[in-house]
Structure formats: C-alpha cells, structure tokens
Amino acid sequence: MDISFSAEHEAFRDEVKEFLSSALTDELKQAAAFCPGIFLDYEHNMAWHKILYQQGWVAPAWPEEYGGTGWDLMQQYIWTTETSLAGTPSTAPMGLGMCGPMLIGHGTAAQKDYYLPRILSGEDYWCQGYSEPASGSDLASLQLKATSDGDHLVLNGSKIWTTHAHYANRMFILVRTDDSGKPQQGITFLLLDMDLPGISVEPILFASDTHEVNQVFFDNVRVPKKNIVGEENQGWTVAKYLLEFERGGGGAARFGIGLQRLRRLAEQTNVGGQKLVDDEDFKNKLNETGVKIDALQFTEFRIMAQISKGGSPGPESSIMKTLSADMGQYLSELMVEALAFYASPHQPEAREVGQNTPAIGPAAGVAAFPRYFNYRASSIAGGSNEVQRNIVAKLVLGL
Ligand SMILES: Cc1cc2nc3c(=O)[nH]c(=O)nc-3n(C[C@H](O)[C@H](O)[C@H](O)COP(=O)(O)OP(=O)(O)OC[C@H]3O[C@@H](n4cnc5c(N)ncnc54)[C@H](O)[C@@H]3O)c2cc1C
C-alpha cells in the first residue's frame, strides 16, 4: 500500500486549504468547537452544507455522474484531514452518507433523479426509521406493519431513537409487509414524507441536555408504493447495504486533532506543581492513545485500499465503527480528566454561538461534560459494539 502523496494530491491539498480559509466563518468554527454531541445543530449544519453545495464539494464520496466530486480516495482522505484541522462542522450523515449511496446502489432511475439532487442541495433532510422499541440489535424482528391498499401501503406502529426526526422532511424506513416467513423476509424498504397525515414525532432528551433523537408514531399513514426501494418484501438486502455506509467512515484524522488539543490543554494545566503533560500516568495515556490512533489510521487506509478496488465498504466497516466509537469515548474521558473540576460547571449559555458569556475555566470545559455524556451513545447508535464484533467475527474472520 503506497500512502505517499503525489504532487497532484499536494496541489489538491492547497486548493482545499485555500477554500477552507475563505469559506469557513468564525461562527461555523465556534459552532463546531462547542458542539455538545456528535450531531451539530440543524441551523449550522445546513449553513455549512449549503456552502459546500455551492462549491460542488458537498458529497466527496459520491460518483461524479450523481453530483459528487468524483474525488479519488486520497483526495477524500485529504479532505477529511484538512477539514478536521480547520475545525469545520460535520454534515449530517443520513442523506449524504446513507440514503444517497443506498439510492445510487438500489434506487430506480426515477428515485435517483428526484431525490439525489435534493439531498445535495439540502432541500431534503432525511432521518432513518430502522429501530423500534423492541427491535434494535435484532433489527429483523421489526414489526411496524404496512398493509397493502391498492397502490399504497398503510403504516401502523412506531420507530424509536430516530435522530433528527424533528428536523427531517423525509424518512427512509423499514416496514413489515409479510410475517409468514423468516424474519428477514417480508421487510420492505420505503421512502416517505414526514408531513404525511398520521405521523407524530415525540422528543427523547439526553443526559447531555441535548435533543437529538425521537420516537415517531404512525397511525394509518398512507405511502405510495412507488416509494418502495428494491422489491416489496426484499428490503433486508437494501437495509444491510445501507448499514455498510452508516458504519464505515474514517475518523483517525479527526481523532488526531482531538489528541493534539488534549495535549495542548495538558501543557497549560498545572497539577501539584507540575504540568499535567509531565505527569507520568497522564503522559502514558496520551502516548498510548497516539499509538491507537495510528493503528486506526492504518486500518482506515487498508479499508480505503479495498474500496479502491471497487465495491462497497463491506463488513469491515464494522471494525471502523467499533474502533471509532471507543476512541471518541476515550478522548472525551481524557478531556474530562484533564479539565478536572473545570469540566463540571453547567454553562450552556457559554456554548451559544456569538455569545459573550465567558467560559468558567478553559474554553474546552464548555462542551466537555455534555460531550462525554453524549459520546456514551456512540457505542450503541448505528449498531452496538457487541453486535459489530459479532459481524466481524462471522463475516470478516469467518469464525
Ligand atoms: C444516539 C442514538 C441515535 C440513534 N439513531 C437512530 C436512528 O436515527 N435511526 C434508527 O433507526 N435507530 C437509531 N438508533 C438506534 C440504534 O440503532 C439502537 O439503539 C441499536 O441498534 C441497539 O438497539 P437497542 O437500543 O434496541 O438495544 P438492544 O438491541 O436491546 O441491545 C441491548 C444490549 O444487548 C446487547 N446485545 C444485543 N444483541 C446481542 C447479541 N446478539 N450479541 C451480543 N450482545 C447483544 C447490545 O450490544 C446492547 O448492549 C440510535 C441510537 C442511539 C443511542
């Protein structure tokens, strides 16, 4: 595997840096730096999305024919690294990272023509209707019932943990159209509008004081059958394909930046007459984390090399999902440890963009504890770590 950068790639890096230095406003940087969770608030998320869309760079991983950048994997890697270094907000993954690639792989020509441009422009904001109150890890047991009525399906039941359903105008959803066979059979993949009569969205609040997820109820909701993706009763194949995109993704570059920030904070923090960065125990933790991030980086390169030979991310994406969840959580723990009592004050007003309320203690303390709580969810969301390890054991290691 050759991981050196060609002159063309270095020129591309310069182009990206130049764009970021002019396009990334202080407000967006602040929104990203003080974001208390994994998901940025809708307003700043969409503001950044639209800037990227205007530049033609909103979908770095999509093929050019569908409005993506057509960048090769090295260019995508450079993009991820430079945006991490610059401290940009992230974009919401449900449309660009999940629904779009899924439609490119399995949608009809009409579905692609209609939905893909709207995902790119930000006109449509998607949420994911997979989990149900009694179906999470065992997703194939889902029960939200869809009954056929002419050229419509009529939906009754509920979905839970639906991220940003309160902002979304569209949902991709798994419904039960037949329960006579194995659980995986009889599931249908549908696209629906969130303003259909009979849909209601109830908030679920987090310990981190954020509203990201919801429970969504369906009471006789009529969805046209033309919104089925793939074949009726064959939605499981489409659902699994989409999950490979949800679970993949890089992250080592962003973690590397997180570690740098942590190291800088430890250099500025005095504990018992010495700098925290010189404390043997904390120094070891920082160094071990650096080694783990390097290992994560090389795993990411290996998966990139595999994707470059063609195809989707494959079950290996479960490796990245688990390692990334663990690393995000660990960095948030180390941040709380480094800040000590300065992590404790509840200061949401100091996190507001454009505020002039000074932080109590180091600025990093403003988001540290909410982020620590919020990141607990990352080893559950998108499929729990235990379930990802089962997938790796079976489908990657063949155990
Ligand atoms: C922040 C957040 C955002 C989310 N966003 C969405 C969303 O937008 N859309 C959506 O559809 N869902 C979403 N989810 C739901 C998420 O996909 C589920 O929470 C997840 O799949 C786990 O399901 P569960 O919560 O039902 O837990 P369960 O499946 O009940 O699992 C409980 C525990 O048992 C363990 N376990 C279960 N089965 C096995 C097994 N076979 N082997 C070993 N251990 C096992 C699990 O690892 C877990 O620790 C979100 C969840 C969170 C926390």
How confident is the prediction along the chain (399 residues), in pLDDT tens digits per residue?
Answer: 566 789 999 999 999 999 999 999 999 999 998 888 878 889 999 999 999 999 999 999 899 999 999 998 889 889 988 998 899 998 999 999 999 999 999 999 999 999 999 999 999 999 999 999 999 999 999 999 999 999 999 999 999 999 999 999 999 999 999 999 999 999 999 999 999 999 999 999 987 778 999 999 999 999 999 999 999 999 999 998 888 776 555 578 889 989 999 999 999 999 889 999 999 999 999 999 999 999 998 888 888 777 777 766 677 788 888 999 999 999 999 999 999 999 988 888 888 888 788 889 888 888 899 999 999 999 999 889 999 999 999 988 998
Query: Both tokens of residue 130?
Result: 């997979």
Does residue 115 form part of some domain? no
DSSP code of residue 211: E
Does residue 112 form part of some domain? no
* Among 211, 236, 261, residue at a domain's last position: 236
Q: What is the pLDDT of residue 311?
A: 64
Mutation test residue for ligand 1: of 378, 380, 388, the one with most atoms within 8 Å of CB: 380
- In this structure, the answer to whether residues 264 and 386 fall within a common structural domain is yes
Question: Residue 186: CB partners within 8 Å, gap ≥ 6?
Answer: 176, 177, 178, 179, 180, 233
Q: What is the pLDDT of residue 248?
A: 55
pTM for this one?
Answer: 0.92
381 lines ligand 1 (CB under 6 A): yes
210 lines ligand 1 (CB under 6 A): no
380 lines ligand 1 (CB under 6 A): yes
The atom of ligand 1 lying closest to the CA of 386 is: 47
126 lines ligand 1 (CB under 6 A): no
Q: What is the pLDDT of residue 8?
A: 94
Tell me the backbone φ, ψ of residue 48, rounded to 5 degrees. -70, -40
Structural domain for 178, as ranges? 126-236
Question: Residue 9: CB partners within 8 Å, gap ≥ 6?
Answer: 74, 75, 78
Q: What is the pLDDT of residue 218?
A: 98
Cα(273)–Cα(177) distance, integer angstroms:
67
Burial of 104 (0-12, 13-18, 19+ CB in 10 A): middle
Does residue 19 form part of some domain? yes
Output the domain CATH number for residue 213: 2.40.110.10
- In this structure, the answer to whether residues 36 and 73 fall within a common structural domain is yes
**Which protein residue's CA is at the shortest distance from atom 16 of ligand 1?**
381
111 lines ligand 1 (CB under 6 A): no
Tell me the backbone φ, ψ of residue 219, rounded to 5 degrees. -125, 100
The answer to whether the beta carbons of residues 169 and 124 sit under 8 Å apart is yes
Q: What is the pLDDT of residue 272?
A: 85
Output the domain CATH number for residue 307: 1.20.140.10
The atom of ligand 1 lying closest to the CA of 134 is: 26
- In this structure, the answer to whether residues 35 and 132 fall within a common structural domain is no
Does residue 20 form part of some domain? yes
387 lines ligand 1 (CB under 6 A): yes
- In this structure, the answer to whether residues 369 and 266 fall within a common structural domain is yes
Q: What is the pLDDT of residue 246?
A: 60
Cα(155)–Cα(233) distance, integer angstroms:
15
Dihedral angle over CA of 146, 205, 48, 80, nearest 10? -90
- In this structure, the answer to whether residues 176 and 43 fall within a common structural domain is no
- In this structure, the answer to whether residues 81 and 133 fall within a common structural domain is no
Dihedral angle over CA of 84, 35, 101, 229, nearest 10? 180
Cα 369 to ligand 1 centroid, rounded to whole Å: 23
156 lines ligand 1 (CB under 6 A): no
**Which protein residue's CA is at the shortest distance from atom 27 of ligand 1?**
136
100 lines ligand 1 (CB under 6 A): no
- In this structure, the answer to whether residues 297 and 324 fall within a common structural domain is yes
Cα(206)–Cα(12) distance, integer angstroms:
40
Domains identified in the chain, total number: 3
- In this structure, the answer to whether residues 292 and 386 fall within a common structural domain is yes
Which residues pair with residue 199 across a beta bridge? 218
Cα 247 to ligand 1 centroid, rounded to whole Å: 13
Q: What is the pLDDT of residue 368?
A: 92
Q: Which long-range contacts (CB under 8 A, 24 or more apart) does 286-294 make?
A: 286/259, 286/262, 286/334, 289/259, 289/327, 289/330, 289/331, 289/334, 290/259, 292/327, 293/252, 293/255, 293/256, 293/259, 293/327, 294/252
The SS3 call for residue 218 is: strand
**Which protein residue's CA is at the shortest distance from atom 13 of ligand 1?**
161
The answer to whether the beta carbons of residues 246 and 98 sit under 8 Å apart is yes
Mutation test residue for ligand 1: of 137, 194, 216, the one with most atoms within 8 Å of CB: 137
Q: What is the pLDDT of residue 271?
A: 87
The answer to whether the beta carbons of residues 189 and 239 sit under 8 Å apart is yes
- In this structure, the answer to whether residues 351 and 262 fall within a common structural domain is yes
**Which protein residue's CA is at the shortest distance from atom 41 of ligand 1?**
387
The atom of ligand 1 lying closest to the CA of 129 is: 11
The answer to whether the beta carbons of residues 277 and 263 sit under 8 Å apart is yes
- In this structure, the answer to whether residues 185 and 231 fall within a common structural domain is yes
The SS3 call for residue 359 is: coil
**Which protein residue's CA is at the shortest distance from atom 32 of ligand 1?**
137
- In this structure, the answer to whether residues 254 and 231 fall within a common structural domain is no
- In this structure, the answer to whether residues 212 and 259 fall within a common structural domain is no
Cβ neighbours, 10 Å, residue 115? 23
Q: Taking the alpha carbons of 155, 161, 167, 168 in that order, is the dihedral positive or negative?
A: negative
161 lines ligand 1 (CB under 6 A): yes
**Which protein residue's CA is at the shortest distance from atom 43 of ligand 1?**
386
Cα(394)–Cα(191) distance, integer angstroms:
31
Does residue 116 form part of some domain? no
Mutation test residue for ligand 1: of 38, 125, 130, 131, the one with most atoms within 8 Å of CB: 131
Query: Both tokens of residue 72?
Result: 């090769």
Cα 295 to ligand 1 centroid, rounded to whole Å: 26
Q: What is the pLDDT of residue 363?
A: 87
Q: 170-176 and 228-229 as β-strands: parallel, antiparallel, unpaired?
A: unpaired
Does residue 35 form part of some domain? yes
The answer to whether the beta carbons of residues 239 and 130 sit under 8 Å apart is yes
